[in-house]
């Protein structure tokens, strides 16, 4: 089975970001994951962060790890990985897009209808920073521009899916989007409908192959709000409209049976909508920190990808509305797999950043490789030189991903002010600082090494020497997987050893 994830809009991109981290933890089932972002605002900060995560993942995945949980899934990014409905427009606006001026002269009836449906500001406002919380604009544009058979990345997307369903591999497509914004709310039903329509267009004898195709989606209900502004001059997404938009959206899905095109649909929201200080119109300033709702969205994708028999609607809730524990996260594998694998990746990132990368740097500059026996076993005897530019780049790439992952985790924990997230002991590696009056999460310059055994909450017995035990095991670690090569063998060993800690 191959898997396809499409993040629509800023929230969609953030959910895909969470799914990429879950893939890095080895939570995805066997098969490739194709990732695509849909956003008219390509400079959107949320999208930017998801793109960086995707790029870091793909770059690190070039290392040959063999069969291990770390970065287990082969992720293929769409080319281009962000699709914008305005890729050919320099100054996009609804009026320009539908040639409103020409319409007024050639087809007056259509122009009048256009006037009835859209206000002057909706028609004239430039849309390079997205649909500004107006799904009515987005739906019109998306329906007109998404053509699965024409242009990239849709052409490749379609070809890959056709190959999967005709070849019997099977394909599961999952869409992420918000119901309350502009891009996600408009793209979620429109793109799903276009995919269904396009892929149903098979030869009469091939119709049975459609059983190999499943379409699912996570629709995110409001979970954050903007701090209100004193002045309101431009057309943009307003959090006071979120609930109204959501109500309208849900009514639309219900009355038009729009969820029928999905084999499974997941809805999430958070009562206490955390205030986000950014009231950006879009662009790189639209950068909301990761939120725990995105964990749920990524878990819903896992649930969809893993399960054979899909329900149409999925509901889940927390035990305590002001708290989130591991037990509140649905685990499609059953048991504690999600907790264990996220824990394993957290320990790997923590150990790599606090111990293994620094010692490799020290050996590179000062020599004395004997200090780290695993260095002799995995690097020196394999003729991997730390001075080699390619080695340096690979080690830095893994470092960058590990930093990104830990920051993401810490941000998830600080995303809500009046709720307690009890998943990871992020204080061991990150702290909140004030940056220009705003809270910002940063990695600690020196991690709390004694907390290594207790990175996963709830806190257990104190084991201040767990890193020392990991070091000892790394010094006698053996990797028998012949597909693990070079630095990949070292990371393979570190990942496996981190998986042995409970």
Partner 1 sequence: MIKYVVHFVGILIISAGFYLLANLVEKDLFLERLVIPPPGVKLPQWLDSFKFWANWGITASVGAVLLWYLIAQWGFKVNHWSESGKRVIWGLFFILPVIVIILGFVFTQQAQESGWLAYLFYILNGLACYYLATALFSPSSFKYTPLWAEKIRRW
Interface with partner 1, residue 476, by CB under 8 A: yes
Q: Which of 57, 223, 471, 490 touches partner 1 (CB under 8 A)?
A: 471
- The DSSP annotation for 168-191 comes to T--EEEEEEEESSSSHHHHHHHHH
CA distances from residue 108 to 113, 114, 125 in whole angstroms, order as listed: 9, 10, 22
Measured CA angle at 12 (ends 9, 16), to 5 deg:
135
Q: Which of 99, 371, 420, 440 touches partner 1 (CB under 8 A)?
A: 371
Query: Using CB under 8 A, which residues numbered 319 to 348 contact partner 1?
Result: none
Q: Which structure tokens are listed for 332?
A: 């499609």
Q: Which of 310, 376, 432, 443 touches partner 1 (CB under 8 A)?
A: 376
DSSP one-letter code for 220: E
Q: Which of 368, 417, 434, 480 touches partner 1 (CB under 8 A)?
A: 368
Q: Is 206 helix (H, G, I), strand (E, B) or coil?
A: helix
Q: Which of 64, 472, 481, 485 touches partner 1 (CB under 8 A)?
A: 472
Query: Using CB under 8 A, which residues numbered 265 to 284 contact partner 1?
Result: none
Q: Which of 287, 392, 450, 485 touches partner 1 (CB under 8 A)?
A: 450
Contact predicate 217/176, CB 8 Å: yes
Interface with partner 1, residue 113, by CB under 8 A: no
Interface with partner 1, residue 480, by CB under 8 A: no
Q: Which structure tokens are listed for 234?
A: 């431009």
Query: For residues 194 and 467, which CB has a smaller minimum distance to partner 1 in the complex?
Result: 467
Cβ-proximal residues to 483 (8 Å cutoff; 6+ apart), any chain: 64, 66, 67
Report the alpha-carbon distance of residue 172 to residue 304 in Å, rounded. Answer: 8
Contact predicate 70/407, CB 8 Å: no
Query: For residues 251 and 371, which CB has a smaller minimum distance to partner 1 in the complex?
Result: 371
Q: Which structure tokens are listed for 286?
A: 């639209």
Interface with partner 1, residue 370, by CB under 8 A: yes
Query: For residues 264 and 351, which CB has a smaller minimum distance to partner 1 in the complex?
Result: 351
Interface with partner 1, residue 365, by CB under 8 A: no
Query: For residues 31 and 373, which CB has a smaller minimum distance to partner 1 in the complex?
Result: 373
Interface with partner 1, residue 382, by CB under 8 A: no
Q: Taking the complex as a whole, how short is the minimal distance between the CB of residue 376 and partner 1, in angstroms?
A: 5
Query: For residues 223 and 375, which CB has a smaller minimum distance to partner 1 in the complex?
Result: 375
Query: Using CB under 8 A, which residues numbered 383 to 442 contact partner 1?
Result: none
Cβ-proximal residues to 23 (8 Å cutoff; 6+ apart), any chain: 33, 57, 71, 72, 73, 75
Report the alpha-carbon distance of residue 224 to residue 289 in Å, rounded. Answer: 11
Residues at the interface with partner 1 (CB under 8 A):
355-356, 358-359, 362, 368-373, 376, 380, 449-450, 452, 464-465, 467-468, 471-473, 475-476
């Amino acid at each position: 089975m191959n898997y396809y994830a499409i993040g629509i809009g800023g929230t969609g991109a953030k959910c895909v970001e969470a799914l990429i981290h879950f893939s890095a933890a080895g939570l995805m089932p066997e098969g490739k994951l194709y990732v695509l972002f849909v956003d008219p605002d390509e400079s959107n900060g949320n999208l930017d962060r998801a793109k960086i995560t995707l790029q870091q993942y793909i770059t690190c995945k070039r290392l040959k790890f063999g069969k291990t949980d770390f970065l287990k899934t082969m992720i293929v990014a769409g080319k281009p990985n962000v699709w914008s409905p305005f890729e050919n427009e320099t100054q996009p606006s609804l009026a320009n897009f539908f040639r409103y001026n020409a319409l007024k002269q050639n087809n007056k009836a259509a122009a009048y209808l256009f006037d009835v449906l859209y206000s002057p500001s909706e028609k004239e406002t430039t849309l390079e920073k997205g649909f500004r919380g107006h799904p009515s604009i987005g739906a019109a544009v998306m329906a007109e521009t998404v053509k699965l058979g024409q242009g990239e990345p849709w052409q490749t997307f379609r070809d890959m899916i056709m190959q999967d369903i005709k070849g019997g591999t099977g394909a599961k497509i999952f869409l992420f989007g918000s119901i309350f914004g502009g891009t996600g709310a408009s793209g979620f039903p429109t793109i799903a409908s276009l995919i269904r329509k396009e892929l149903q267009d098979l030869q009469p004898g091939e119709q049975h192959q459609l059983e190999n195709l499943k379409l699912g989606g996570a629709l995110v209900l409001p979970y954050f709000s903007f701090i209100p502004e004193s002045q309101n001059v431009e057309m943009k997404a307003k959090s006071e409209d979120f609930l109204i938009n959501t109500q309208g959206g849900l009514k639309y899905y219900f009355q038009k049976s729009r969820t029928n095109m999905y084999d499974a649909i997941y809805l999430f929201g958070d009562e206490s909508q955390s205030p986000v200080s950014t009231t950006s119109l879009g662009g790189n300033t639209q950068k909301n920190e990761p939120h725990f709702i995105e964990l749920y969205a990524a878990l819903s994708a896992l649930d969809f990808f893993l399960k054979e028999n899909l329900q149409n609607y999925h509901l889940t809730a927390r035990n305590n509305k002001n708290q989130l524990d591991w037990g509140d996260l649905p685990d499609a594998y059953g048991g504690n797999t999600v907790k264990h694998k996220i824990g394993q990746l957290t320990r790997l990132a923590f150990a790599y950043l606090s111990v293994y990368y620094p010692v490799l740097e020290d050996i590179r500059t000062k020599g004395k490789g004997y200090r780290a026996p695993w260095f002799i076993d995995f690097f020196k005897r394999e003729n991997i030189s730390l001075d080699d530019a390619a080695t340096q780049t690979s080690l830095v790439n893994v470092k960058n991903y590990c930093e990104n992952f830990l920051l993401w985790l810490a941000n998830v924990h600080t995303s809500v002010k009046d709720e307690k997230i009890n998943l990871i002991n992020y204080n061991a590696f990150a702290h909140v600082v004030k940056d220009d009056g705003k809270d910002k999460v940063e990695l600690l310059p020196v991690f709390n090494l004694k907390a290594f055994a207790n990175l996963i909450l709830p806190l257990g017995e104190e084991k201040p020497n767990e890193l020392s035990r990991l070091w000892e095991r790394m010094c006698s670690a053996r990797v028998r997987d012949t597909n693990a090569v070079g630095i990949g063998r070292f990371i393979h060993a570190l990942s496996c050893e981190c998986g042995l800690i409970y």
